[in-house]
Amino acid sequence: AQTVTQSQPEMSVQEAETVTLSCTYDTSESDYYLFWYKQPPSRQMILVIRQEAYKQQNATENRFSVNFQKAAKSFSLKISDSQLGDAAMYFCAYMNYGGSQGNLIFGKGTKLSVKP
């Protein structure tokens, strides 16, 4: 069975600085998706960034980028120029490609605080 591990329960960053959230996963599959979701206090789950395992190029979305290391099964999220609105729980998630699509396997989350 696939697992997702986020080893940092809490992280803190100064506004305008850069922070990296760690995520490792375990799978025997070769095709899969990886995601970072953000959950602010409003509870809404918001997709931050997505990576297809077959793509070697790291995904980027404005201030958010990932470092995807397939061999190491690592998928870290870098937030540049942190803003107060980035404060939230961040969840790393894995999904098999094909088969039971939609079965997201989540890590336990990292609570990010942003200091003004």
Partner 1 sequence: DTAVSQTPKYLVTQMGNDKSIKCEQNLGHDTMYWYKQDSKKFLKIMFSYNNKELIINETVPNRFSPKSPDKAHLNLHINSLELGDSAVYFCASSQHSSNTGELFFGEGSRLTVL
* From 19-27, 60-68, 75-83, 101-109, span contacting partner 1 (CB under 8 A): 101-109
**Which runs of consecutive H residues, i.e. helices, occur in 16-103?**
none
Q: Tell me how far apart the alpha carbons of residues 20 and 58 are, in angstroms, rounded to a whole number.
A: 14
86: three-class secondary structure by DSSP: helix
**Residue 84's closest CA among 115, 40, 41?**
115
* 50 near partner 1, judged by CB under 8 A: yes
* 42 near partner 1, judged by CB under 8 A: yes
* 109 near partner 1, judged by CB under 8 A: yes
Among 33, 67, 70, 113, binds partner 1 (CB under 8 A): 33
* Closer Cβ to partner 1, 16 or 47, answer by number: 47
Region at 81 (left for phi over 0; alpha for psi -120 to 50; beta for the rest) = left
Q: Tell me how far apart the alpha carbons of residues 26 and 71 are, in angstroms, rounded to a whole number.
A: 11
Give strand pairing partners of 23: none
Least Å distance between CB 51 and partner 1?
Answer: 10
* 97 near partner 1, judged by CB under 8 A: yes
Which residues contact partner 1 (rule: CB under 8 A)?
33, 35, 39, 42-47, 50, 52, 89, 91, 95, 97, 100-104, 106, 108-109
